[in-house]
Structure formats: C-alpha cells, structure tokens
Amino acid sequence: MKMSDFFGIVRELSFSEIRHEAMIPPRFLVVARDPADGNEWLRAIFGDDAHPFVELMDNSDTTVDPLAYDAIISIGELEPALTRDWVNRFRRADEEMRLIEVDVSAESETPDASRIQRVICDVCRDRSVAFGRYIEPMRSAATTEIVADTSRVNAQFAALSNIPAMVPLVGTLFAAGADLVVLTKNQLMMMYRLAAIYDRDLDDRWRIYSELLPVVGAGFLWRTTARQAAAVLPVALGAVPKVAIAYAGTYAIGQAARAYYECGYEIGAEDMQRLYERGVSVLTRAEREGVPPEEASLSGGRPATGVSVSK
C-alpha cells in the first residue's frame, strides 16, 4: 500500500459519528437493596470520581425513569414488580433494556469489578468509547472490547473474502486489493476509537492521522504474509491462514495503539511480532476452549460468571 492509498482511505472515512458518540457523557444506574452495598459496588466498578455519570437507587424506588440510562446494573435481582414495570416501559418506547444483574451470592467478599466492566462494554458496544473516555476505570474494558470486536470483524471478513476466489472472473476482481482496503479501514476506525477513549483532541485530525500512519506498514506486512501463507494451500483452505492473520494483525495493531496511548510507548518491529504471535495464540485458545477471544486473552480464558444480561 502506497502513502497516497493511505490518505485516500482516510479521506473516505467519516469520523463524525464516532466523535459525536464519544462526546456524549455516559449515564449508568446502579440498583441495590442495601445502599451501602450498592455504593461499594458502584465505587468498585466505576471508581470514586464517577458520580456525575452514575446514580444509585433503592431496589424498591419506582420514581426513576430507566430509559434515561445507557445501562442498568442491578446488585442482586430486581424486584419482580419493578422488572415488569421497566420491561413494559422499554417495550412501549421500542427501546432495548440493557440490564446487567450481578449474582452477589456467587461473588467473593471483594467484588471482581473487571468482569462486570467487560460485560457492560460488551452489552453496550455502541457506547463503550464514551464509557472509557469519561470513566477512567472503564478504559481497560472499553479498549479490550473495541480491539476484540474489530479483530473479530476483520477475521470474519477475511473468511468471506476468500469465497469469491472460488468463482471464476468475479474472484479475480475481488482479490485485487479490495479486502485489504476494508480491513485497513476497520483498523483505522479502531485506532480513532482508541484515541477517543484516551481523551485525545478529536478535532486535531492531523495529529490523529499521524498516529495512524503505522497502520500502513503493518497492513502491508500483513498482506504479504497472508499471500505467502495462503499460496501453499488449496483455495478452499486458503481462508484459514487469512482468518488467523486478519485477527492477529488487527489485534497486534490495537495493542500497539493501546501501549502508545497509555504510556507513550512506540512499538518496534520485534514487539509487533510478539503481539502478532500473541494474537494467534489468543485465537487458538478461544477456538479450543469455546470462549470469545476477549475472554481467551485473559488469564485462564474463563468467561465471566455470576453475571446475567437482560435485553
């Protein structure tokens, strides 16, 4: 990919929707029978400085409008009457009720907030950028969700992009770099979301563009590797290395951007290779253990337990 191709792709991208969504402050509602218990969970999940964005209510309070919040976190089950009332409200408004119920009986004495944060970001993917931008304790979960989601989407596209290769003429046209353009666009959008999470000035587009430039080199290397890996296999099996490379390449770029935004650390070639290899191992473990890749990237690769989601 040439530099002119890179800026051509950038000009086609529209960051306005991401910027708009990122700038809307989040709103959470924590519901608990015991206010002291609820406040402990609130602070564990969202930190001590999140009160402008998080409200706490008693489980029996019927005066709160649940439609005003991005998500509702219930410490224990909601009261049945309250559940029925809220379900009806969301149904009438034709809105999705994002309710995360924490089974406190399955918890240890110290709340494992990181699990709840990951579930919140998974359930509210469209709002995870704002969560991480405004609430610092949510940044890690938001970043993990965005990198994992983009890596997964690129892997799925890589698999689909191999299907036209089996069709004469059509496959030749599709294979002429179209897949690289789409995958690179997704990576650029991912990095812009990460810039938003880490409180970058979203109006300083040229600075962000300069931070996106490493994607060009990584994308070129990724494409070359994909061709070499897929060339030695039958057409039908060529999708296998392409999928792994698409996932691992996007994962590596996301983790490199994360290191840059968190610590100002610029990833070198050797570090990038290690991140790429880690991405491959994450995907392999996820397939072996039957868990989402974002769970496989964590120690033990076990999904969150004691948490249920109602939509």
pLDDT of residue 284: 80
Report the amino acid identity of residue 21.
E
Specify whether 146 is located in the same domain as 292.
yes
**208 within a domain of the structure (yes/no):** yes
**246 within a domain of the structure (yes/no):** yes
pLDDT of residue 274: 83
Specify whether 118 is located in the same domain as 188.
no
Specify whether 176 is located in the same domain as 277.
yes
Specify whether 44 is located in the same domain as 91.
yes
Secondary structure of residue 177 in the 3-state scheme? coil
Specify whether 166 is located in the same domain as 58.
no
C-alpha angle with apex 111: 109 to 112, nearest 5 degrees?
Answer: 125
Specify whether 230 is located in the same domain as 88.
no
Per-residue pLDDT tens listing for the chain (311 residues): 454 555 555 556 678 889 999 999 999 999 998 888 899 999 999 999 998 999 999 887 888 999 999 999 999 888 888 999 999 999 999 999 999 999 877 655 556 788 899 999 999 999 999 999 999 999 999 999 999 999 988 888 877 766 555 455 444 444 545 567 788 888 888 989 999 999 998 888 778 777 767 665 665 665 565 555 555 444 444 456 777 888 888 898 899 889 888 887 777 777 877 888 888 888 888 777 776 666 666 543 334 445 666 65
Specify whether 156 is located in the same domain as 15.
yes
Specify whether 277 is located in the same domain as 165.
yes
The tens digit of pLDDT for each residue in 14-53 reads 788 899 999 999 999 999 988 888 999 999 999 999 989 9
Specify whether 260 is located in the same domain as 146.
yes
Specify whether 104 is located in the same domain as 202.
no
Residue 57 forms beta bridges with which residues?
31
**114 within a domain of the structure (yes/no):** yes
Secondary structure of residue 32 in the 3-state scheme? strand
pLDDT of residue 185: 84
**227 within a domain of the structure (yes/no):** yes
**99 within a domain of the structure (yes/no):** yes
Q: Please report, for the domain that includes residue 77, its CATH number.
A: 3.40.50
**132 within a domain of the structure (yes/no):** no
Question: How many distinct structural domains can be found in the chain?
Answer: 2
**143 within a domain of the structure (yes/no):** yes
Q: Where are the alpha helices (DSSP H) in the chain?
A: 3-12, 16-22, 35-46, 80-93, 113-123, 128-134, 139-161, 170-174, 178-197, 205-212, 214-231, 239-263, 269-289, 293-296
Domain housing 81: 27-69+71-123
pLDDT of residue 127: 96
pLDDT of residue 46: 96
Residue 56 forms beta bridges with which residues?
30
Specify whether 194 is located in the same domain as 281.
yes
Of 231, 47, 219, the C-alpha closest to 134 is 47
Region at 256 (left for phi over 0; alpha for psi -120 to 50; beta for the rest): alpha
pTM of the model: 0.82
Specify whether 65 is located in the same domain as 190.
no
pLDDT of residue 194: 94
pLDDT of residue 21: 93
